[in-house]
Amino acid sequence: MTDFTVVIPARMASSRLPDKPLADIAGLPMVVRVARQAMQSVASRVLVATDHEAVRAACAAHGVEAVMTRADHASGTDRLAEVATLTGLPDEAVLVNVQGDEPLIEPALIDRLAALLDDGAMPMATLAHPIRDADEMFNPNVVKAVVDRDGRALYFSRAPIPFARDAFAVGRDALPDGLPVLRHIGMYAYRAGFLKTYAALAPAPLEIFESLEQLRALWYGYPIAVAVVDEAPMAGVDTPEDLARVRRHFIRT
């Protein structure tokens, strides 16, 4: 398997959960929990990318490598592009973006994502899983992915796509059998050279309206490989209620 680096963006700004990266989870800051999960993958390197000295210091106190990045990045992908430059990674190097609020991320999922770039043919990759609930499909907070037969992304949207015209004309309480509707999992793998290219591109109209950074790649004609996994990963931390749930998990284990 190609060597890869896990990068964990960790910003302090969070309206729903202030100082989220430093939230205590069973005696460790959340960002350190995420890093320790990532270290169980086969990644050759795990580092945190942050714009706040307190996060860097917390990482250092627990033996986690961290780099300081600018505070004005529009997306996590833009932040990773800065990391690729700061660390001097060669263009062919693979970076996997693991969000800093995913303390229950499965290491095997990280490995599965990185493996999509093994052959060197794709600049970017991500994950999705089947949607089985109609409410989830029609929820604009759930990002849907449409993928071709070769596992390449056709589009991502907050809208209910693909739209089963005839079935939904009758009712929207259930999904028709066989509808290939997928929920996007917000993890990405990239080639370092592509990250540098991405950061130099102007934001795309589709990206701006949908508020989905991956649409910039598709807008400019860059393919995205998608692996479909059976189930959703364990949920991350966005709210105080999420944090309480994750804390209970670590107490049980």
* SS3 of residue 246 by DSSP: helix
Amino acid, res. 225: A
What are the tens digits of pLDDT across the range 211-235? Answer: 999 999 999 999 999 999 998 888 8
Residue 253 has pLDDT above 70, yes or no: no
Element housing 187 (H / E): strand 182-191
Q: Rounded distance, CA 210 to CA 88, Å?
A: 32
Per the CB < 8 A criterion, the answer to whether 41 and 6 are in contact is yes
Burial 221-238 (b: 16+ CB within 10 A, else e): ebbbbbbebeeebeebbe
Amino acid, single-letter form, for residue 7: V
3-state secondary structure of 56: helix
Is 183 within 8 Å of 143 (Cβ atoms)? yes
To the question of pTM greater than 0.85 for the whole model, the response is yes
Task: Read off the pLDDT of residues 28-73 as tens digits, 9 standing for 90 and up.
Answer: 999 999 999 999 999 999 999 998 999 999 999 999 999 999 888 8
pLDDT at 1: 66
Report the CATH fold assignment for 4-252. Answer: Spore Coat Polysaccharide Biosynthesis Protein SpsA; Chain A (3.90.550)
Helix (H) or strand (E) holding 145: strand 144-147
CB atoms within 10 A of CB 13: 10
- Residue of 13 and 111 predicted with greater confidence: 111
- pLDDT value, residue 12: 77
CA–CA separation, 122 vs 109, rounded Å? 18
Q: Write out pLDDT tens, residues 112-121.
A: 999 999 988 8
User: In degrees rounded to 5, what are phi and psi of residue 179?
Assistant: -70, 120
Supply the pLDDT for residue 182.
97
